[in-house]
Structure 1
Amino acid sequence: KYYNTFVLDDAIMSRLDSYKLLSIPLLNPESSIKCPGDLCSEYDLEVFNNWDSNYLYREKLEISKMSSATPVIRNVWFGNTTDFECLHIQSNLNSNSNIKDENGSEIKEKYERSEIPLHCDPRNTIVALTKKDLSKKPIRELDSKLITFPKSNWKFFVHCVDGARFPSFVELKNIFMSLSSLDQIYLEFPPSGAVGLGDLSEEDILSIVNVCKLLYYRCTSDFTGLLYCSDGYTETSLLGICFLMYSKNIKLDDALIKLHMDYGRPFFIFKSDYFLLEKLEPILNRFSPLNYEEDDDEDEDDNEASSNDSWKNLTFEDNTFLIKSALLSPKSDSKRRSSVGVSRNSVITTATGQHVVQLRGQQIQTPQLGVSVTGDTRSESSFGSSSSTSTSSDSEDEIDIGGPCESVAGSLPSRILPHLYLGSLAHASSVPLLKELGINYLVSVGERIPWVDDLNYSIESTESGCDILKFSQRSGKGSKCYVNEVMRISNINDDGIGTLTTTINDALEFIGKCYNEGGKVLVHCQVGVSRSATVCIAEVMKRLSISLPRAYLFVRVRRLNVIIQPNLKLMYELFKWEENFVKSKIKKRQSSVSSVNSITASNSSTLFSNNSERSSFSASISSVNSNFTTSSLRENSISGVSFKPRLSVVNFEKSIVEEEDVFIQMDIGSDQHDMIASNCPGFIREVDWFILCREIFNLNRAYINP
């Protein structure tokens, strides 16, 4: 295969730009200047439109979009630094207290929570934006496409940041004494992962209780609060979960599930945080205001529960003896932990060795607290069993596993799309967790789920050799299995040798079945960073109709602190799968419009489709124009279709227009007629392989300390 190479002796930049052949057009020096109130400049938009570079910039934009502020409880919102900064930019522009939204309208404090959580809503993303979406419009309108404008005029800010200390009793008391005269309150608080139980004094624990109490009573509909950090989900998780346990008087696992399911917030806690929160749980429940007032069970009213003067009855806790007695109280009987888990140092130790998970902003460390796998270590070759039915012993579908979050130390699988989760073997091994999250389908990529062989199931095999296990729904003495089906993809290891080429389409078809039936599917491998991430990227490409680099970024951001790292072979297989994916769309669209627009037998651009399962397109140009010269006139062949390099300006223009029209109007196979999100709709791919590898390397390097 060869590329068409053109040498321009008289370049006309406007013509090249109109044919989408310029990465970044020529800009005047003033293009980098921002007008007052604008968040982006013309130069910023052009840099964003060039998907050949600066993926770190795109990742930051996508993170801020994904984790933008949403209300949680008692007029307290969880958000990110961008929310805080955007509010203050607008505050400086408006001398009055009326803050405007992206449409220039005054912010209304009432927030309508969507059924789809904002962080996994496919409409809440920047990866689907193209040059067409970001051109010929006012900068302020374009700002709102890249950045979510604040939805509330917050006045109580708690910034969870490295280096912060716990507010002292005296500092909190001084704030309380001045509440009636304060227009805004700003506090700093230690972040998640920065403290352990051994680092805390009784005064520090009292500080946690008092900060929760201050938020609970002072935040009203006229004085809303924002709990925020840089990414919107890591540093705030410790205080945010403490506040939820305090406000609702609930247990730790219930708070984690509620934050994820009911309030739709992304969060990430370390194993050390989970152990700390377990010790803080009885203390926060003991001081909960619901012990002294009526509980309103309606979550919809959580943000309207505080009256504007309830804070006047606030008194701070200062009795350290209560803290000591709670810490010394006997620990309740712990549930049996699962045999698979994630350590604080991001290392999993299993029967097959150690697996390192790289977290954002953390250096790879040697294992110290690894959790080993016990029990059945049978070979994966048993996946390919030809028997149609597996019989359990005396289990009667009962599964003896602990609480929903204990076995994974509070680390939930990542919700990529409303129907799609990405996680680890530990997540798939916890039946109570699957039940709480409503996950009823599993795709197991090269791993064995421990509880599967304890249940009765029937087996169906796909043409590619994948097994689909269908379970009976019967209650036993233990936990009931709520999983309907499991797809097992066997003989695929994360060793740079295993391949998904023959099985990925079957996996996507299985996920599509789950989607059509309104279910939720968890795709997992050992740790959820390589093999299962590959499948999820392909599903996002197919579901959102976007190119590979855009889908990669979409999944990467929603995996939160766990950095996805498909090995080089799997990534290249995705790269080639993208070609076939785009070609199949062209072929499908071509067949649907052939009855309306016939292709003439001229020297202009022509679409070819062969009789194989793959479709391709090429152009045949016969005339030569002096404005272009080529280094070689040899004929090229793509997918069996011969053609000569494009050399004619006239026919080149005509061919591009025709191919672009095919791309823009093609059917993606759903009820909507969407085009592939790409800045190069006339090309098979948006970004070349070597550029994609370079940008992913630069992305990962930013999180690894030398």
Structure 2
Amino acid sequence: MATVVVQQHPVRHSSSPPPAISSSFSLSADSTPSQPPVPNKHIPVCPTGPAPPSSKIPATPPASPTLRHAAPLHGRPVLFPPDDFPIVCDDPPIYSVDADTLASAMEERASRPLPDPKHVFPWLHGLHPENHIQLGFFVSRRRSLRRVPRCLRFTAIVKVGGNLSKSRIKGAIAPQEILSKSGTSFLEADPPEGFSVRNFQIQTAKLAPLSDIVVYGEDDVDQKEVLQVANGIANAQKEWRKNFDPGQDVSLFNTFVLESTFREIEDKHPELIAVNCQGQLTGRVVDFFHWERLEMCHMAEASEITTNVWQGPTPDVNEHPLEDLGFDVFIETHDVASIPNLRYLSKISAQLEDGPQRLEFPSSGSVLASWNQVEVYDLIDTCRWIYHIANPEEPEQPTDADGDIPMVSLTSKPRKVFIHCGDGYTESSLLAIAYFMFAEGVPVHEAWLRLHCEKKRNFFAYPSDVAFLTSIQSRLLLESPAARGRSIPKTPEPSWLSRMDGSLPSRILPYMYLGNLNHANNPELLRALGIRRVLSIGEPVSWPPSEFEKWGLDSVMMVNEVQDNGIDPLTQEFDRCLKFIEKGKKDGTATLVHCRVGVSRSATICIAEVMACKGLSFPRAYCFVRARRLNVIIQPHLRFVYELLKWDELQQQKRNEPIHRDLEWPTIAREIALMNKPYSKQQ
């Protein structure tokens, strides 16, 4: 069976729209190739919790921040001091570097441990002197916390000419991402209003003044243009030093131009190339969009849910023609489709000998209370038709409205049916569950569990899907081929079904689930899924004492006093949490990790576990968890992401490996901001 990949579709507007991300600074849409979001996902609201008790809103804005001269850098960076580099321009000074020096500088930076989080937060959150809300929450009158940390130093790569869709060095950005319209001063990155602990979009500009900046252009770009941008950056560094570090005689951060051509870098240091001169991803540099889609395809890859009926992501017909995928019928599920009637299905049956056939079906979540009986009958007829072509040995055939038998030979071979949608699970879940109920003769709750536990399918359904499938359950089972010659016993509806909103907790690993407080407060559902341990991060479960007795006190663990406020650290809890999860793994059971929403605190713990057990770097572990957190976007805030980068360093040391980051902090923050940007616009 050929492996299928995701084909992107227009984003579906969820019934629960994500909140807009408030910020005065946004990444330029022209600075990176346009990337469509994975369908159906949305950004949930993550409550920050209360402000620290000592927080007070200052009466007047504090003075402009200066460099915090505590915790200085140790060791000599490759690019500092720049005395040994050729000078291209004297005032302000601009230096020249070659490809080998750039590679050494980037390797040195990737191998240097990041400063402790306490030395860079809350400064990284963005503390604009006029943003009373942000200042009041984070620093109150402690002006020392607003000083620029001297312990930070990065290397920024700026590309001149064209966009970043080709000839892109690892981590490269466009000039407009850090320079104001004048081209001679840095952007003011800190938001002047609003409150956020997820200001990923400001990090590139915020950290540019604390970076040695290397400027290069595509090979066909005039060198004068490169020097012009470099001159603007050098002036911006000079202005910034005058305003924020007036006592420093020597420039701590400098501007360089790359004397080597892009093709030279491709030849000598291919490990630095993210996108080659033809606009192709090299695969040598982690690309968040690319890795998320790889993980999504792996997680939702096509699998057989019942005899000759498969579910998975929409195939890319440009890469794999339908004829090569091994399926006879492709049923695409999406929002604007209608339920096919028997006449149309009969037409498809007659054309099966001509090659693979396509039809459409409404998506999950599109079911409304206004659905009429004709549409219900059409749904059941669709299930019957799928069953007949997948199992042609069955003697009974469906008839159309006039009583005519569709043109399908009783001796025709079994046909393979592929139910698909963009992400492989969301929009196709309604039809997949309904057909599984029909084909297997099982009620909705059993279909839910068997698809997830036996068939290992990750799927997402909406509350309306639960209500609809429950309401038509008796009719589906009455028409089911599994009911022929026997009576299907009536089983009582389990109590967990009425308390479920349609979604199951997300299976990140076979022994670890990620969910929200609603999932945690449905212990009957957890037991049905094989979950026997619950790890609560900052949000306790509301169980009666009898429930705790059933689970046992050693099967429930609570991490206290961790709010999603950008202040409370979580690193010190990693080892304890992971030992708790590991105990469940050894016992052959699964652990639910949850907070309130299931996207920040608990997601951070799940990422830490994936990094530890699979030996993955943070970017890869982040994409691994993000792809498996069904229908919602994981949202660890800035401090949690930074702490996970420090956790990455610790895991490498435990494996006796040298410290080496796949990507630097400004690049990681930029990638996360760009990934979330399309969803933040949904209304």
1:15 deviates by 9.3
The one-letter code sitting in structure 1 at the alignment partner of 2:617 is S
Q: Aligned equivalents of 1:27 and 1:283: distance in 2? A: 66
- Give SS of 2:679's match: coil
Structure 1: state its 5+ residue gaps: 32-39, 92-98, 100-149, 297-331, 336-401, 457-470, 472-479, 590-662, 664-681
**2:341 and 2:382 in contact (8 A); partners too:** no
1:200-211 matches, within 5 Å, as: 200-211=371-382
Question: 358, 375, 386: which is aligned to 1:215?
Answer: 386
Distance 1:684 1:501, change over 3 A: same
Deviations 1:262-300 (A, max 9, x none): 11111001112211222121221121111225799xxxx
Name 2:462's counterpart in structure 1. 270
**2:327 and 2:416 in contact (8 A); partners too:** yes
> Is the aligned partner of 1:557 residue 2:627?
yes
> Is the aligned partner of 1:245 residue 2:437?
yes
Q: Aligned equivalents of 2:278 and 2:414: distance in 1? A: 38
Question: 553, 560, 571: which is aligned to 1:490?
Answer: 560
1:358-507 matches, within 5 Å, as: 403-451=495-543, 453-454=545-546, 481=551, 485-507=555-577
Name 1:77's counterpart in structure 2. 310
- Give SS of 2:359's match: strand
The one-letter code sitting in structure 1 at the alignment partner of 2:292 is E
Name 2:348's counterpart in structure 1. 175
**1:155 and 1:184 in contact (8 A); partners too:** yes
Q: Aligned equivalents of 1:219 and 1:14: distance in 2? A: 61
Question: 588, 592, 599: which is aligned to 1:529?
Answer: 599
The one-letter code sitting in structure 2 at the alignment partner of 1:73 is T
**2:562 and 2:570 in contact (8 A); partners too:** yes
Higher relative contact order, structure no. (Cα contacts within 8 Å, ≥ 6 residues apart): 2
> Is the aligned partner of 1:191 residue 2:377?
no
**2:77 and 2:105 in contact (8 A); partners too:** no
> Is the aligned partner of 1:548 residue 2:618?
yes
Distance 1:482 1:162, change over 3 A: farther
1:582 deviates by 2.5
- Give SS of 1:691's match: helix
Question: 549, 556, 572: which is aligned to 2:642?
Answer: 572
1:58 deviates by 2.8
Q: Aligned equivalents of 2:585 and 2:288: distance in 1? A: 30
The one-letter code sitting in structure 2 at the alignment partner of 1:429 is N
- Give SS of 1:502's match: helix
The one-letter code sitting in structure 2 at the alignment partner of 1:4 is P
**2:285 and 2:662 in contact (8 A); partners too:** no
State the percentage of identical aligned residues.
Answer: 33
Question: 150, 155, 163: which is aligned to 2:328?
Answer: 155
Deviations 1:139-163 (A, max 9, x none): xxxxxxxxxxx5xx11111001232
Q: Aligned equivalents of 2:454 and 2:586: distance in 1? A: 23
The one-letter code sitting in structure 2 at the alignment partner of 1:49 is R
Distance 1:64 1:45, change over 3 A: farther
1:587-602 matches, within 5 Å, as: 589=656
Name 1:390's counterpart in structure 2. none
Q: Aligned equivalents of 1:410 and 1:482: distance in 2? A: 28
Deviations 1:123-174 (A, max 9, x none): xxxxxxxxxxxxxxxxxxxxxxxxxxx5xx1111100123211213321233
1:184 deviates by 2.2
Q: Aligned equivalents of 1:428 and 1:245: distance in 2? A: 27
Name 1:701's counterpart in structure 2. 677
Structure 2: state its 5+ residue gaps: 1-72, 87-95, 108-168, 172-260, 268-274, 392-412
Distance 1:576 1:207, change over 3 A: same
1:63 deviates by 1.3
Distance 1:518 1:414, change over 3 A: same
**2:653 and 2:659 in contact (8 A); partners too:** no
Distance 1:180 1:454, change over 3 A: closer
Deviations 1:354-400 (A, max 9, x none): xxxxxxxxxxxxxxxxxxxxxxxxxxxxxxxxxxxxxxxxxxxxxxx
Name 1:289's counterpart in structure 2. 481
Equivalences, count:
417
1:519 deviates by 2.1
**1:534 and 1:570 in contact (8 A); partners too:** yes
Name 1:50's counterpart in structure 2. 285
Taking structure 2 as the reference length, what is the TM-score of the superposition? 0.56
Q: Aligned equivalents of 1:554 and 1:18: distance in 2? A: 30
1:229 deviates by 0.4
Distance 1:289 1:222, change over 3 A: closer
Name 1:691's counterpart in structure 2. 667
Q: CA RMSD in A?
A: 3.4
Name 1:4's counterpart in structure 2. 77
Name 2:7's counterpart in structure 1. none
**1:431 and 1:481 in contact (8 A); partners too:** no
